[in-house]
Amino acid sequence: MAKLDETLTMLKDLTDAKGIPGNEREPREVMKKYITPFADEVSTDGLGSLVAKKVGNENGPKIMVAGHLDEVGFMVTSIDDKGFIRFQTVGGWWSQVMLAQRVTIVTRKGEITGVIGSKPPHILPAEARKKPVDIKDMFIDIGASSRDEAKEWGVTPGDMVVPYFEFTVMNNEKMLLAKAWDNRIGCAIAIDVLKGLKDAEHPNVVYGVGTVQEEVGLRGAKTSAQMIQPDIAFGVDVGIAGDTPGVTEKEALSKMGDGPQIIIYDASMVSHKGLRDFVTDLADELNIPYQFDAVAGGGTDSGAIHLTHRGVPALSITIATRYIHSHAAMLHRDDYENAVKLIVEVIKRLDKETVEKITFE
């Protein structure tokens, strides 16, 4: 594996952390460790979202940059008498990416390795073999011989189950493979935006936020935005990469490495036109690459944030990512770095007058 620089070490720490919705403590601690040196104040809301505040002009507008801490995973619902574990998906999963994958169950007594199993195809009728296995017919095998043994090891209904995957820098060292890019890359962007403003003057108060429970309905974005009451917000997340075999440009336009995605429309929000134009005009001026995208299904934290307080002009800036909501996703380091650069430069220019102009444009 390539030698990890400071940025890659942070990305590894963030993606290795285990945290499904409602269980974000571990990634929150990692984010807190990395963002605290660049913040004036770090707090949490009542649901556990992390809010790091950096003051430029304390009377200036409040700017929120939000990535979500949670990743998709599973939750133990019951243990059968033979020691096999039944589970609930937490966040969206496609059944075809789940079978035979290794998982980690986090119990009060420690971590337990398991594998997702189902009835073997060899004993299924020919017709059944052609169909994908339903999630309800899958189980997790931890090698226990009985319910009592599994319980003795600490497994309890409600325990989180997390995909197991090791952070990997690929042969093309710009290509990074890991679990939980959705959305630890957003958390990394929030950290690096505050870092980029460390010694810079900015005419506002910036909040780098790690929200909780995005994958189950943008819940932490709602509570943290109520707490902050921002004037402008950026949701930073992953988007769909359309550069793999079989994907047409009609289905997905974006390519890894071509710059951050500016989301003009998704199922949770029609992007604020004034903010979108301000961001893309500045990107053009500074020669920072970007690509437009529209997503018919799904949304980001921006969807909840823009409806809080008295309404917040918001824009989602995302990173084109392959294979999201699976054990291993891939993104391009340049897109991440250009997203940070763009947001930092935008924030430096968001003074009171500019925010008012954007808001009413």
pLDDT-above-70 percentage for the chain:
99
User: Does residue 99 sit in the same domain as residue 189?
Assistant: no
- Same domain? For 274 and 337 the reply is yes
Q: How many domains does the chain have?
A: 2
Contact 95, 108 (CB under 8 A): no
Q: What confidence tens digit (pLDDT) does each residue in 233-278 have?
A: 999 999 999 999 999 888 888 999 999 999 999 999 999 999 999 9
Residue finishing a domain among 129, 163, 197: 163
The pLDDT value given to residue 186 = 98
Report the alpha-carbon distance of residue 318 to residue 186 in Å, rounded.
Answer: 8
| 241 and 325 fall within a common domain | yes
* 29 and 58 part of one domain: yes
Mean pLDDT within 143-157: 98
pLDDT at 121 over 90: no
Give the domain extent around 250: 6-71+179-359
- Asked if the structure places residue 171 within a domain, the reply is no
DSSP-assigned beta bridge partners for residue 161: 74, 105
Judge if 16 and 41 occupy the same domain. yes
Q: What are 45-66's pLDDT values in tens digits? A: 999 999 999 999 999 999 999 9
CATH (domain of 336): 3.40.630.10
Task: Identify any residues that bridge with 54 across adjacent strands, giving them in sequence order.
Answer: 206
Kindly tell me if the per-residue pLDDT of 1 is higher than 60: no
Active-site residue identified among 111, 214, 251, 356:
214
Is residue 332 located within the same domain as residue 292?
yes
Q: Is residue 1 part of a domain?
A: no
Q: Are residues 142 and 12 in the same domain?
A: no
332 and 205 in one domain? yes
Q: Indicate if 228 and 290 belong to the same structural domain.
A: yes
Of 112, 135, 163, which residue sits at a domain end? 163
172 part of a folded domain: no
The answer to whether residue 137 sits within a structural domain is: yes
**Pair (225, 293) in one structural domain:** yes
Tell me the per-residue pLDDT of 179-192, one tens digit each, with 9 for 90 and over.
Answer: 999 999 999 999 99
- 214 an active-site residue? yes
**50 within a domain of the structure (yes/no):** yes
pLDDT at 319: 98
Q: Is residue 86 scored above 70 in pLDDT?
A: yes
What is the separation of C-alpha 351 from the centre of its chain, rounded to a whole number of angstroms? 28
Token pair for 249: 């440009």
Q: What is the pLDDT of residues 10-55, one digit of tens each?
A: 999 999 999 999 999 999 999 999 999 999 999 999 999 999 999 9
Q: Tell me, what CATH number does 133's domain have?
A: 2.40.30.40
Q: How confident is the model at residue 178 (pLDDT cuts 50, 70, 90)?
A: very high
pLDDT score at 115: 98
User: Tell me, what's the pLDDT at 297?
Assistant: 83
Inside any domain, residue 173:
no
Q: Which residues contact 119 (CB under 8 A, 6 or more apart)?
A: 133, 137
Cβ–Cβ contacts within 10 Å for residue 50, how many? 28
- Distance between CA atoms of 54 and 198, rounded to whole angstroms? 9
Q: Which residues contact 166 (CB under 8 A, 6 or more apart)?
A: 16, 178
Task: Give the pLDDT of residue 143.
Answer: 98
pLDDT at position 2 over 80: no
For residue 35, the number of C-alpha atoms closer than 13 Å in the C-beta half-sphere is 34
| SS3 assignment, position 333 | helix
Same domain assignment for residues 61 and 89: no
Residue 218's pLDDT is: 96
CA-nearest of 337, 167, 331, 166 to 239 is 331
- Give the CA angle between residues 214, 108, 70 to the nearest 5°: 10
Average pLDDT, the chain: 96
- Tell me the pLDDT band of 340, cut-offs 50, 70 and 90: very high
Q: Are 29 and 97 in the same domain?
A: no
